[in-house]
Amino acid sequence: MDFNLTEDRQMLSDTLTRYLAEQYQIEHRNSVAYDAPFHDPSKWTEMAKLGMFSALANEADGGFGGTGADIAVVFEALGHALNCEPALPLLMSSRLLSAAGQEQAALLEGTAHYAVAIAEPDAPYDLIDITATANDDHHLSGRKTSVYGGNIADYFLVAAKAGDRLNLYQVQAADAEVISYGLIDGGGAAEVLLDNTKAELLIENAQSALKDALDAGIVALCGEAVGMMYVTYQITVDYLKQRKQFGRPIGSFQVLQHRAVDMLTEIEQSRSITIKAASELGGTNASRYASMAKNMIGRSARLIAEEAIQMHGGIAMTWEYAVSHYAKRLIMIDHQLGDTDFHLNRVMGMLNTA
């Protein structure tokens, strides 16, 4: 497999990385990530003008990308900057709107905000356990939890059951009860309460479309994690070179060198499996490789976070030091769209039925 980026994707990666390094430094990120609206609307508009969102959609939907590789490139750049903008719900919404044959120009231009409402308190990851229901008039009842980007959404794309069918509906945010909040690792989300709420049916029997959106979201999270892990590793190595103990840099001690090499090994393995999952997106094995990648990312991200903190010492736990925020996000990313245990069981189930 060729791991090198195409010229167009390398240009996209370089452009986004340069923009985020200049305009979205850690101090700015922390100033907007933890207070409503939990992102920077002005930077969101600038990112849209750069074409970042269009890179997440195919040409038929008004974009110029939309492949797994495009998604991984964009989100790795976002991970480098620990970006808290609601790009994940935009990506997943784009996949669903595409499957429904809906216009999404406003979404890709950043002028309309969509959020995907799938998870429920008793069904955080699995589509099978969804209990939200729709009646014959397309009115929905139920509760959706941890709706990423739901705090600023104009529309919700809601998975709900109508009889034995799992359908996709669109709900205007103004018609639902939305409880917004900030996440511990930055960014915003919402609880969405539906009580005979009017909706528009977008896709009947939406199981495959929802799986595709979830798989794309997983690839995005894996790409983001790879970007965050690499920056965390770089900060740690720089610290090992500068921090002195017993009259010499602590990076000269062999045991710390070995631990740094172990970190880099985990990152490269994570990058490889993310590339594989990205290449399979949209294919028959997409869910399998997405789960394999998410399981490994969950384990590797925790290791990188813990090793970085241990090798830094107490400074890595302070608010002012970037590693504390990267580590927090790396730990919490495991809980988005399925944790390590969920995806391990998912892969095992696929192997047993193969």
Distance from C-alpha of 226 to C-alpha of 74, rounded to nearest angstrom: 12
- Do 177 and 133 belong together in one domain? yes
| pLDDT tens, residue by residue, 89-106 | 999 999 999 999 999 999
Last residue of a domain, one of 81, 108, 135: 108
Q: Cβ atoms within 10 A of the Cβ of 208, count?
A: 10
Residue 317 domain-assigned (yes or no):
yes
Q: In the prediction, which pLDDT does 169 show? A: 98
Q: Kindly report, residue by residue over 115-144, the tens digit of the pLDDT.
A: 999 999 999 998 989 999 999 999 999 999
Nearest Cα to Cα of residue 94 among 150, 54, 42: 54
Q: What is the dihedral of CA 333, 338, 343, 346, to 10 degrees?
A: -170
Last-in-domain residue among 187, 205, 223: 205
Residues 242 and 162 occupy one common structural domain: no
Calculate ∠ Cα 148-82-45, nearest 5°. 65
Host domain of residue 154: 114-205
Look at residue 1 and tell me whether its pLDDT is greater than 60. no
Q: Which tokens belong to 132? A: 């939200």
pLDDT band at 6 (very low <50, low <70, confident <90, very high): confident
Give me the pLDDT at residue 3, please. Answer: 64
Does residue 63 contact residue 54 with C-beta atoms inside 8 Å? yes
CA distances to 3, 67, 93, 269 from 285, rounded to whole Å, are: 19, 15, 22, 20
Q: Which token pair is 157?
A: 């794309």
Examine the domain organization and report whether 341 and 245 are in the same domain.
yes
Asked, for residue 62, whether it belongs to a domain, the answer is: yes
Q: Could you give the dihedral angle defined by the CA atoms of residues 309, 314, 319 and 321, in that order, rounded to the nearest 10 degrees? A: -60
Q: How far apart are CA 38 and CA 35, in angstroms?
A: 5
The residue type found at 42 is: S
Residue 17's CB is within 10 A of a number of other CB atoms, namely 17
Q: What pLDDT is stored for residue 219 in this prediction?
A: 98
CATH number of the domain within which 28 lies: 1.10.540.10
CATH of the domain at 192: 2.40.110.10
Provide the number of structural domains found in the chain: 3
pLDDT band at residue 41 under the 50/70/90 scheme: very high
Position 247 scores a pLDDT of 84
Number of H helices, E strands in the chain: 11, 10
Task: Give the CATH number, domain containing residue 312.
Answer: 1.20.140.10
Specify whether 335 is located in the same domain as 316. Answer: yes
For the chain, the distance separating the N- and C-terminal CA atoms, rounded to the nearest angstrom, is 24
What whole-number distance in Å separates Cα of residue 330 and Cα of residue 82? 10
**Whole-number Å distance between alpha carbons of 47 and 43:** 6
Q: Domain check: are 85 and 170 in the same one?
A: no
Q: Are residues 151 and 219 in the same domain?
A: no
In a domain, 252, yes or no: yes
On whether both 234 and 344 belong to a single domain, the answer is: yes
Query: Would you state the pLDDT for residue 252?
Result: 82
pLDDT of residue 94: 98
**Structure tokens given for 100:** 């429904």
Domain end call among 146, 181, 205: 205
Q: What is the pLDDT of residues 226-272, one digit of tens each?
A: 999 999 999 999 999 998 888 888 888 899 999 999 999 999 999 99
Residues 183 and 123 in one domain: yes
- At 286-296, the pLDDT tens digits run 999 999 999 99
Task: Look up the pTM and report it.
Answer: 0.96
Distance CA 321, CA 327 (A): 11
DSSP-derived secondary structure for 170-227: EEEGGGSEEEEEE-TTSSEEEEEEEEEEE-EEEESS-HHHHHHHHHHHHHHHHHHHHH
* 12 and 127 part of one domain: no
The answer to whether residues 207 and 168 touch, using CB atoms and an 8 Å cutoff, is no
Question: Do 60 and 196 fall within a single domain?
Answer: no
User: What percentage of residues in the chain have a pLDDT greater than 90?
Assistant: 90
Please determine, for residue 8, whether its predicted confidence score (pLDDT) is greater than 90: no
Q: Please check whether residues 183 and 217 belong to one and the same domain.
A: no
Residue 54 predicted with pLDDT over 60: yes
Instruction: Please report, for residues 136, 281, 312, the alpha-carbon distance to residue 318 in angstroms, rounded to integers and kept in the order given.
Output: 54, 38, 11
C-beta of residue 329 within 8 angstroms of C-beta of residue 185: yes
Instruction: Looking at the structure, tell me whether residues 102 and 138 fall in a common domain.
Output: no
310 found inside a domain? yes
- Mean pLDDT, to the nearest integer, of 196-207? 97
Mean pLDDT of the chain: 95
